[in-house]
Amino acid sequence: MAAPARGPTGGSRAGLRLVLVLQLLLLLRPRGAAAGGDETGVATPTGACGCGTPQRPGAQGSTAAAHRYSWEANAPGPDPDPGPDPSPDPRPQPAKMVPLPAGLFTMGTDEPQIRQDGEAPARRVAVDAFYMDAFEVSNADFQKFVNATGYVTEAEKFGDSFVFEGMLSEHVKMGINQAVAAAPWWLPVKGANWRHPEGPDSTVLHRLDHPVLHVSWNDAVAYCTWAGKRLPTEAEWEYACRGGLENRLFPWGNKLQPRGQHYANLWQGKFPASNTGEDGFRGTAPVDAFPPNAYGLYNMVGNAWEWTWDWWAVHHSTEETLNPKGPPSGKDRVKKGGSYMCHKSYCYRYRCAARSQNTPDSSASNLGFRCAADLLPGAG
């Protein structure tokens, strides 16, 4: 289940107002209105909005601000906001990073499940050796970053973020009378951000080891820059996800539950009505939950969508390429891996070849990231 996206803005002030009004009229309608689907009322699983990627007004931002949150630009000093997990050292202890060898692999697939996402064709891609975070960036990790820099996420600046309705308290839902038209389970919640994933009456104090959520692409770049790392390219991410396996659906093979064991945090039940939580979780899971793949990487699919560096494109060359970084510009950034909201009947995007996109300022209750690096931080 992909996260909603904020939309681009531009032009004159009068034109901007018109764009905002039109986008809001298109994207938001009263709660309870039916979602798009077939004549039986079942939501279309892979239509244009099948994975819930509506856009709403918001500045896309850029990487220009990232340096302000780099280690070099933030000398050690007193914590501006100690928060739930204060650290005497404002520089994060390096999260476990896994060395990945240089290699040649098959990226994408010639058997796409969601054609409009640009999963095809299968193509040979070579990547240089690099390092990848073994885990998604956790709430505890992100708290250290905020403590050291005073960083304010885009969700906090906007004042709201999208949250899956099934995770909200009745008190919060009572105050919301709009939903995303194409996916009415996505609700704009005031006060929802990484500290309060389900709105003001929620907290991360009891889940500091879960992936940080409600982080935009710009937020992720700022964190990675501060930690002396970067976001992985889509090719690096997919290479890491596959764990050395060729032409397999998942990081561990082709069978979703080998020997009846759950290997990822996904949706069990009928989406979006009921999640049985057979894998042990109805929301996110700790970043070290479930077995790692052959490279020692955890939760590469499921749990939380993960941002990559690349701009979005759906047409790819079949010529063998080295270290591709996607198109030079675009409107959306690529995200990979799916989330705890993914189910084969609606969002079969928890495969290594699967992909989706959002505007760089988008945030939601199923969207996070992990970092990559050419060298281990501090080793250069």
The pLDDT profile of the chain, 380 residues, written as one tens digit per residue, is: 677 777 543 333 333 333 333 343 334 444 544 333 332 232 333 333 334 444 545 444 444 444 444 444 433 333 334 444 444 444 444 479 999 999 999 999 999 999 999 999 999 999 999 999 999 999 999 999 999 999 999 999 999 999 999 999 998 999 888 888 889 999 999 999 999 999 999 999 999 999 999 999 999 999 999 999 999 999 999 999 999 999 999 999 999 999 999 999 999 999 999 999 999 999 999 999 999 999 999 999 999 999 999 999 999 999 999 999 999 999 999 999 999 999 999 899 999 999 999 999 999 999 999 999 999 998 75
Write the CB contacts of 348 (distance below 8 Å, at least 6 apart in sequence).
45, 46, 113, 114, 342, 354
Whole-number pLDDT of residue 182: 84
Distance of CA 251 to the CA centre of its chain: 17
Whole-number pLDDT of residue 180: 84
Nearest residue to 154 (alpha-carbon basis) of 249, 77, 221: 221
Whole-number pLDDT of residue 71: 40
Whole-number pLDDT of residue 79: 36
Whole-number pLDDT of residue 53: 41
Whole-number pLDDT of residue 379: 74
* Count of structural domains, the chain: 1
Whole-number pLDDT of residue 334: 98
Sign of CA dihedral 144, 147, 149, 151: positive
351 within domain boundaries: yes
Given the DSSP bridges, would you call strands 305-311 and 333-336 parallel, antiparallel or unpaired?
Answer: antiparallel
Whole-number pLDDT of residue 1: 64
Distance of CA 339 to the CA centre of its chain: 8
Predicted TM-score (pTM) of the model is 0.82
66 within domain boundaries: no
350 within domain boundaries: yes
268 within domain boundaries: yes
120 within domain boundaries: yes
182 within domain boundaries: no
311 within domain boundaries: yes
Whole-number pLDDT of residue 31: 54
CATH code for the domain in which residue 332 is found: 3.90.1580.10
258 within domain boundaries: yes
Helix/strand/coil for 336: strand
User: Exposure of 322 by Cβ count < 10 A (0-12 exposed, 13-18 middle, 19+ buried)?
Assistant: exposed
Domain that holds residue 371: 95-152+210-379
